[in-house]
């Protein structure tokens, strides 16, 4: 069997390619430039992803596609129409890849989406894959639209579709807010997050990779949407203490009430940041366990230890 991994040189892609290779799975990885080539796999250059990308050469010998590449959250958005830009890559690009894959005889398409499709905050009841969707950001909207469009492709072509919606993914040199928090903790910077009484589901990189590879081959995965986590939820405050313990630095946390932080974030136009730090977002992975017989093979301690060993 040979799998095509898009975004092979990304945070998730490199770990996925390495583990797939370790398990004896042949991998074709797409990267944007030659200098980003991933060791141990057959690299193909795909400079951009949109509705017109030519995937022919990359798909010639592929049995399964794992689609990781996407336009992700943009910190300093310069586009006057962000949703349009997200749609070009995440919707049009994904559909074009899926239809090209079906024509090439690919039997299964694994799409890594986002828990943002369910919403920004779960409230009292953890999200399930069957819940009504509530994407708020342009990124999450584009991921949901991609899911819908890919289901149409699967229905039209008979190619199997599997969708995975991860929450925050953490690991060595993780991008985004998690990586920033780790760097601040290393530097001993005080953070106003010592009184956050929320609950967050996260997934360590190794657990996500394990589930993706199960979804590549498991017969019962076809046609389903799966949520994933470590199976252990923590508050933002507890997470920071545990990260600090893992990296050998005591977390310096100031106990400011979450309501104050939300109010200050609102005044600064940073409500989305406050939701991610103060809001509750839990996912129920019971359906993933039942349908696939999957259990998270790694603990949060393992994931945080890997962060400590590899974070720059």
Q: In this structure, are residues 306 and 247 in contact, taking their beta carbons and an 8 Å threshold? A: no
What whole-number distance in Å separates Cα of residue 202 and Cα of residue 285? 12
Largest CA distance in the chain: 57
The three-state secondary structure class of 111 is strand
pLDDT digits (tens, 9 = 90+) for 103-162: 999 999 999 999 999 999 998 899 999 999 999 999 999 999 999 999 999 999 999 999
What is the share, in percent, of the chain residues with pLDDT greater than 70?
A: 97
Per-residue pLDDT, averaged over 64-74, amounts to 89
Q: Residue 74 pLDDT > 60, yes or no?
A: no
Cα–Cα distance, 77 to 155 (Å, whole number): 35
Q: Where are the domains of the chain?
A: 2-171+204-229
Residues 257-270 have pLDDT tens digits of 999 999 998 988 88
Catalytic residue among 11, 139, 170, 298: 139
| pLDDT the model gives residue 75 | 45
**CATH 3.40.50.720 is right for the domain spanning 2-171+204-229:** yes
Asked whether residue 76 carries a pLDDT value surpassing 50, the answer given is no
Q: Has residue 204 got a pLDDT over 90? A: yes
Return the C-alpha torsion angle 188, 193, 198, 202, nearest 10: -30
- Return all residues near 55 (Cβ < 8 A) that are at least 6 apart: 46, 96, 97, 100, 101, 104
Residues 6+ apart with CB under 8 A from 104: 55, 56, 59, 60, 62
Active site residue 170: no
Average pLDDT, the chain: 94
Contacts of 13 (CB under 8 A, 6+ apart): 5, 6, 7, 29, 38, 68, 69
Both tokens of 249, joined, read 């630095």
User: 227, 161 in Cβ contact below 8 A?
Assistant: no
């Amino acid at each position: 069997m040979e799998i095509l991994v898009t975004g092979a040189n990304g945070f998730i892609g490199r770990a996925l390619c390495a583990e797939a290779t370790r398990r004896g799975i042949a991998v074709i990885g797409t990267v944007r430039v030659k200098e980003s080539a991933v060791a141990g796999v057959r690299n193909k250059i795909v400079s951009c992803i949109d509705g017109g990308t030519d995937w022919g050469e990359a798909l010639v010998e592929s049995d399964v596609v794992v689609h990781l590449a996407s336009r992700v959250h943009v910190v300093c958005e310069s586009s006057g129409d962000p949703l349009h830009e997200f749609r070009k890559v995440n919707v049009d690009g994904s559909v074009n890849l899926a239809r090209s894959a079906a024509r090439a005889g690919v039997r299964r398409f694994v799409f890594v989406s986002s828990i943002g499709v369910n919403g920004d905050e779960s409230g009292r009841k953890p999200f399930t894959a069957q819940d009504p969707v509530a994407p708020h950001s342009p990124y999450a909207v584009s991921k949901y639209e991609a899911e819908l469009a890919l289901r149409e492709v699967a229905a039209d072509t008979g190619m199997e579709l599997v969708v995975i919606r991860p929450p925050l993914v953490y690991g060595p040199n993780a991008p985004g807010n998690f990586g920033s928090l780790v760097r601040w903790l290393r530097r001993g910077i005080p953070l106003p997050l010592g009184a956050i009484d929320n609950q967050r589901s996260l997934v360590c990189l190794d657990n996500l990779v394990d589930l993706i590879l199960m979804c590549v081959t498991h017969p019962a995965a076809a046609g389903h949407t799966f949520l994933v986590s470590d199976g252990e939820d923590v508050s933002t405050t507890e997470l920071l203490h545990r990260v600090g313990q893992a990296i050998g630095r005591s977390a310096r946390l100031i106990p400011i009430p979450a309501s104050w932080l939300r109010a200050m974030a609102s005044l600064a136009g940073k409500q989305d940041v406050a939701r991610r730090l103060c809001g509750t977002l839990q996912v129920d992975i019971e359906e993933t366990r039942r349908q696939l017989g999957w259990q998270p093979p790694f603990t949060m301690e393992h994931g945080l230890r890997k962060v400590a060993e590899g974070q720059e």
